[in-house]
Amino acid sequence: MDQVAHPAPTPRTLRLRAIGEDASQSVADRNVSAASWLIRDGMDRERMLDMDRRLQPIRHMSFVALALALMLNGPWLGWWTIIPLAVAGVMFRSADSFAERVARPEYALLAAWVGSEVMIAASVVVTGGPKSPIVMWFAVPIVTLSARFSTRGVAVGVAAAVVVMLAATLGVNADAVINDPPLLSMPIAMIIAVAILSTALMHSDLKHRSEAVVDQLTGLLNRNALAARTAELEQQSEHTGQPIGLILGDLDHFKQVNDSHGHAIGDAVLRDVTYLLRKQLRAFDIAYRIGGEEFLMLLPGADLRQTAAMAERLREAVAADPVAGDLHMTMSFGVTASAPYARFDFDTVCAEADTALYDAKRSGRNRVCGGRSDDGNSWETASPMSVIHNVASSRGTAPILD
């Protein structure tokens, strides 16, 4: 089997690899596996964060409605009941801010969610326990569970809500519940029913949304999803001051793979390359398929050096492993990043990366080209000017020479 030819590392290549090691070390604390017991993968985490952002204004409105109800009923329930609601609001606000800066934001959001149920329990305890008119409020946070978490997360949330409810009712007046079981059984039934209905509705919504924003071949997000995410990053960069890296990658000689082996093999190549790319990306980096064989990666918090180092890791990963059975492919990359403490302008940054990708293609492919480093030199890692691409299969097709 023919292999991709690689040259002896140039000084520039060695320098970039050293930078890659430094960049990897600098994000070691955040570079965790994408999956957790609440989240299946990085895309699931991104969906959770996206839904949480969408829920924020709705949650604010629901807090206002609950606050008005408490104030109107202050003479009967006590004015102090507004305090637990205010505490819950602060917890959610803190979790929203914290979620944007950690690798596993699902834990912060779940903690805030459980905290809101505890605040409801505190209000129930001092307003009559099982006879409190606030008992039904335990079902309100349940609506948001399925918008953030998978079925496992919903089950954990429902169990936590029921446990907290039992503590706030049986713990205060067990005799009342024993003498009048509906005081507890009906709220529990409502919690379960709301969870079932909201989960079914969310799954239906996700199916339709996925068809619109997810590339069905690779499972990556597509251009429709990219527009919404870049708008969020533009606003986020103003508040955090962090740079945002952008990588454009394009498979070399992909058209010849389709012409020589057919589109079925071409599709298999795209799926396998997608897997190789996602293995290298950090949990909070997001990849998009924006064209036939063109991919875009957004790296929040990555400057130009870290972005170039990541692109080099992606290039090496694609060149190292065969795809679609026995084909060896290479990939060219253009990289750039927004400046620290400057607003991220996607159109400008993407245009720079596109120019860099064109330079990589024109310069011989299988390399990373990009913006300029602090010493004024352009980033570039190179393969030899002649690269052997093994697109030969059992059909006996000759290797293609660039």
* The pair of three-digit structure tokens given for residue 185, joined into one six-digit string: 């059984």
- Domains defined along the chain, listed by start: 11-31+218-401 (3.30.70.270), 42-213 (no CATH)
Strand partners, 336: 246
22-32 residues labelled b (16+ CB within 10 A) or e (exposed): ebeebbeeebe
Strand partners, 235: none
Provide the CA 172 distance to its chain's centre, in angstroms.
Answer: 42
In sign, the C-alpha dihedral spanning 388, 389, 393, 399 is negative
In this prediction the pTM is 0.52
∠ Cα 97 98 102 (to 5°): 135
- CB 31, CB 283: distance < 8 Å: yes
Helix (H) or strand (E) holding 205: helix 182-213
* The pair of three-digit structure tokens given for residue 248, joined into one six-digit string: 């454009």
Beta strands in 173-262 (DSSP E): 244-251
Query: Which value, to the nearest 10 degrees, does the dihedral of the CA atoms of residues 11, 13, 16, 21 take?
Result: -100
Helix (H) or strand (E) holding 400: strand 400-401
Q: Can you give the pLDDT of all 402 residues of the chain as single tens digits?
A: 333 333 344 443 334 344 344 433 333 333 344 678 888 776 677 778 878 888 888 888 999 999 999 899 988 888 888 899 899 989 988 888 887 678 788 888 999 999 999 999 999 999 999 999 999 999 999 988 888 888 888 999 999 999 999 999 999 999 999 999 999 999 999 999 999 999 888 877 666 666 678 888 998 988 888 888 888 899 888 888 999 999 999 999 999 999 999 999 999 999 999 999 999 998 889 899 998 999 999 999 999 999 999 999 999 999 999 999 899 999 999 999 999 999 999 999 999 999 999 999 999 999 999 865 433 444 555 443 323 233 223 223 333 323
How far is the C-alpha of 302 from the C-alpha of 310, rounded, in Å? Answer: 9
∠ Cα 145 229 144 (to 5°): 10
Q: Which amino acid is at 255?
A: K
How far is the C-alpha of 341 from the C-alpha of 355, rounded, in Å? Answer: 24
